Amino acid sequence: MKKFQFLSLIILFSSAIKAQNSDEKKILLTSNANTFGVSTINLLDPYLSPLTYSGFGISYEHENRRFLSTEKTNISTQGKMNMEASYNLNPQSTSSMMFLGVNYSWGMHYHFRPAKGLQLLAGGLWDADFGFKEVPRNINNPVSLDLATNLNLSGVAMFDVRLRKKTFRLQLELQTPILGYMFVPLNGASYYEMFELGNMTNTFHVSSLHNKRGVKSSFTIDVPSNRSVWCFGLNFMNVRYSANDLVFVRNELSLVVGTTFDTANFAGRKNKVPKNFISTNE
Amino acid sequence: MKKHVIILLFAVVLLPSCMNEPAMQPNTYQGNFEALWQIIDTKYCYLDYKHINWDSIRTAYKPRVDTIKNEYAFLDLMGSMLFELKDGHVNLFSDFNETRYWKWFQDYPANFSSSLIYNNRYLGDNYLIAGGFQYAKIDNGHIGYMYYEDFMNAFSDSNIAYMMKYFDQCKGLIIDVRDNGGGSLDYSKQLASYFFKVETVTGYMRHKTGDGHSDFSSPVEIRTPASKNIQWQRPVVVLTNRMSFSATNDFVNRMKQSPLGIIVGDKTGGGGGLPLSSELPNGWLVRFSSSPMYNADMQSTEWGIDPDVKVSLNATDEANGYDTIIERAITLIK
């Protein structure tokens, strides 16, 4: 009898624990990465010059990724904001080109988990791209603008390696534009004619594999330390596009360093801050 | 399905070949000569208009490149070749010198003397300065006189409003743009807008669309708006000489269409082609006319604009401290 009572208590206790666990609300975490980079860059913009300009740049990138919901842990969203500036010279160093670029992308990936510690992500990203190039020496064509929006194919491979009680994450990311819309200046026309006189005919083009090809890739390794996770990596970009008898090329190789961290987002009536969290809003 | 995949792969492999950047000439004297010759051959806008046989110029200059011993001589030779274009908007810029064609004004009378406009009969010593304009009342306060020496000098509506207020008792206004070599087309448009009651098509512009010497886009209208804030409603005389060039030429072209405007002086220097620039393999910059501009009748303004009243500076007047062209403008306003 005593045996039976003891067994019942254990069952009750364990079911209570189980009930308690199943009542615990799952919280989605957002994985963030902030990285800074230095890069070497080659730019060909024949509207500004037939010569390829080369130089060094700096960049900042913020990336975040989270699953769609607590139930769907095989589809994630990804947002990325990249800003960079570079100073470039023509091959003879007789003229300089300043480049400022901003790119924002957002998209989704499906997660495959073919082996323990390995995730393969496949999906698509939409991006908006803005670039400003200035060759101050030029006359009436000192500036060239990059304005484009693209749909990109995207793939990511993440592999967690356990080493000396630490988990290192290796990540390879590839992205390529497949369809978009872009502004390309008229060959031989000044921005005065395009913007002041309003001759924008043939300045906006649909882009696809026939006139825009490229790859953006990055290889990073996340290294955990005591209270943070450091991220080191190498980014490579090669993009070329063509319209109005002009061929534009951008090659870039960057060394990046930053940190990665997870955050939980609470906002609104339905997604209040749990009581065991302390917020400055309270 | 397999067929479609093959076609797609074929397209992906082949299409990038359409995006190969054009081959650059080598950085040698011959390579730079070829690069410069090709830039002008494919991008310069007045080869046919000026009846220039650019192929024969290549034939004449190419053998001379082999005799070149240093960069200075090379720049001189390239400058001589560009000289054939007879265009003040064509220059070759190296790190040590720049070539230029100045015969568009050097071969003509100056028709301007700065010592004359600063004598007491005109600007004197106590003239006012605002927004790049030097201005004063002349002819006993009956005429307003503004000298604008550079269309790179920025001015605002406020600058012009103060000047107009200062001249509000004057019978007319003289805008002197002699020796003004040009600058910003925006300032040209803005300055002209004070003398138009309604927006007016004052010209056209085209640009090169292909390598052929006569491959041009359709003309685009150049409009001169009427300023909403400031309107000068009395006669305005624009003074010109051969050094009124480029953006100044554009201003004069606009003022030709102003109902209140009279152009007085000498034919302008022209410069009707909006210049763009490109680079040679050695890093030198070449500036060249790229987009031809026309007047409201679709006539090229490259060789200059004739004044409504042609007047030249008289040596006797000059010796006596009179500027013949200003004096004629005063007479016309009165």
For chain B, domain boundaries = 114-273+287-333
* Residue A229 belongs to some domain of the structure: yes
Whose tokens are 């406009």? That residue is B117
Chain B residues closer than 8 Å to A47 by CB: none
Percent residues over pLDDT 70 in chain A:
91
What whole-number distance in Å separates Cα of residue B225 and Cα of residue B202?
10
Q: Does an H or E element contain A56, and which?
A: strand A53-67
Chain A residues closer than 8 Å to B217 by CB: 186, 189, 199, 201
What whole-number distance in Å separates Cα of residue B288 and Cα of residue A138?
11
What whole-number distance in Å separates Cα of residue B217 and Cα of residue A244?
13
Q: Which of B188, B222, B244, B43 is nearest to A141 (CA)?
A: B43
pLDDT in tens, A89-137: 999 999 999 999 999 999 999 999 999 999 999 999 999 999 999 999 9
Residue A275: pLDDT band (50, 70, 90) is confident
What backbone phi and psi angles, to 5 degrees, belong to A92? Answer: -95, 5
Q: Determine the pLDDT at residue A58.
A: 98
Q: Determine the pLDDT at residue B10.
A: 52
**Helix%, strand%, coil% for chain B, nearest 5:** 35, 20, 45
Residue A15: pLDDT band (50, 70, 90) is very low
What whole-number distance in Å separates Cα of residue B113 and Cα of residue A166?
84
What is the DSSP-derived secondary structure letter of residue A185?
P
Number of domains in chain A: 1
In this structure, which CATH number among 3.90.850.10, 3.90.110.10, 3.90.226.10, 3.30.800.10 belongs to the domain B114-273+287-333? 3.90.226.10
A140 vs B11: CB contact, 8 Å cut-off?
no
Q: Determine the pLDDT at residue A18.
A: 47
* Residue A103 belongs to some domain of the structure: yes
Within 13 Å, how many C-alpha atoms sit on residue B84's CB side? Answer: 21
Q: Determine the pLDDT at residue A17.
A: 46
A188 vs B276: CB contact, 8 Å cut-off?
yes
Q: Determine the pLDDT at residue B5.
A: 56
Q: What is the CATH classification number for the domain harbouring A218?
A: 2.40.128.100
B125 touches chain A (CB under 8 A): no
Is the backbone of residue A140 left (phi > 0), alpha (psi -120 to 50) or beta? left
Task: Choose the weakest-confidence range: A18-32, A54-68, B53-67.
Answer: A18-32
pLDDT in tens, A180-198: 999 999 999 999 999 999 9
* Residue A9 belongs to some domain of the structure: no
Q: Determine the pLDDT at residue B1.
A: 55
Chain B residues closer than 8 Å to A211 by CB: 15, 18-19
Residue B4: pLDDT band (50, 70, 90) is low
Whether pLDDT at A14 is above 80: no
A249 vs B285: CB contact, 8 Å cut-off?
no
Residue B21: pLDDT band (50, 70, 90) is confident
* Residue A278 belongs to some domain of the structure: no
Task: Compute the C-alpha angle B319/B324/B327, nearest 5°.
Answer: 120
DSSP 3-state of B73: helix
* Residue A52 to chain B, least CA–CA distance (Å): 10
pLDDT in tens, B207-260: 999 999 999 999 999 999 999 989 999 999 999 999 999 999 999 999 999 999
- The secondary structure of A117-170 as a DSSP string is TEEEEEEEEEEEEEEEEE-TTSSS--EEEEEEEEEEEEEEEEEEEEETTEEEEE
Is the backbone of residue B141 left (phi > 0), alpha (psi -120 to 50) or beta? left
Whether pLDDT at A231 is above 50: yes
Whether pLDDT at B3 is above 80: no
Q: Which of A199, A201, A247 to mutate to test the interface with B (most CBs of B within 10 A)?
A: A199
Q: Determine the pLDDT at residue A12.
A: 42
- The secondary structure of B273-319 as a DSSP string is EEEEEEE-TTS-EEEEEEEEEEETTS-B-TT----SEE----HHHHH
- The secondary structure of B192-223 as a DSSP string is HHTT-SS-EEEEEE--B-SSSTT-BPPPEEEE
Chain B residues closer than 8 Å to A52 by CB: 21
Which residues, in sequence order, are CB contacts of B135 under 8 Å at separation 6+? B123, B127, B128, B129, B144, B145, B146, B147, B163, B166, B167
* Residue A252 to chain B, least CA–CA distance (Å): 17
What whole-number distance in Å separates Cα of residue B56 and Cα of residue B33?
14
- A203 and A184 in contact (C-beta within 8 Å)? yes
What whole-number distance in Å separates Cα of residue A192 and Cα of residue A196?
5
Q: Determine the pLDDT at residue A4.
A: 47
What whole-number distance in Å separates Cα of residue B35 and Cα of residue A107?
45
Chain A residues closer than 8 Å to B25 by CB: none
What is the DSSP-derived secondary structure letter of residue A73?
T
Other C-beta atoms closer than 10 Å to the C-beta of B150 total 16
The amino acid at B261: G
What backbone phi and psi angles, to 5 degrees, belong to A52? Answer: -85, 125
Q: Determine the pLDDT at residue B187.
A: 97
Task: Compute the C-alpha angle A198/A199/A200, nearest 5°.
Answer: 95
Q: Determine the pLDDT at residue B19.
A: 77
Q: What is the largest CA-CA distance in chain B?
A: 94
The domain containing residue A47 runs over which residues?
29-264
What whole-number distance in Å separates Cα of residue B99 and Cα of residue B91?
5
DSSP 3-state of A188: coil
Strand order in the sheet with B133-138: B128-130, B133-138, B143-148, B172-176, B236-240, B261-265, B309-310
What count of residues does chain B have? 334
Residue B302 tokens read as 């490259």
pLDDT in tens, B117-169: 999 999 999 999 999 999 999 999 999 999 999 999 999 999 999 999 999 99
Q: Determine the pLDDT at residue B18.
A: 61
B27 touches chain A (CB under 8 A): yes
A199: nearest CB among B15, B21, B220: B220
Residue B179 tokens read as 């020796």
B221 vs A141: CB contact, 8 Å cut-off?
no
* A·B CB contacts under 8 A: 109
Q: Does an H or E element contain B164, and which?
A: helix B157-166
Average pLDDT, chain A: 90
Q: Determine the pLDDT at residue A1.
A: 47
- A205 and A182 in contact (C-beta within 8 Å)? yes
Q: Which of B227, B296, B301, B309 is nearest to B257 (CA)?
A: B296
- A191 and A141 in contact (C-beta within 8 Å)? yes
What whole-number distance in Å separates Cα of residue A201 and Cα of residue A189?
11
Chain A residues closer than 8 Å to B35 by CB: 50
Q: Does an H or E element contain A258, and which?
A: strand A246-264
DSSP 3-state of B103: helix
Whether pLDDT at A3 is above 60: no
Q: Determine the pLDDT at residue A136.
A: 96
Q: The complex's ipTM?
A: 0.88
Residue A152 tokens read as 């990109």
- A40 and A253 in contact (C-beta within 8 Å)? yes
What are the residue ranges of helices labelled H in chain A?
Answer: 2-23, 191
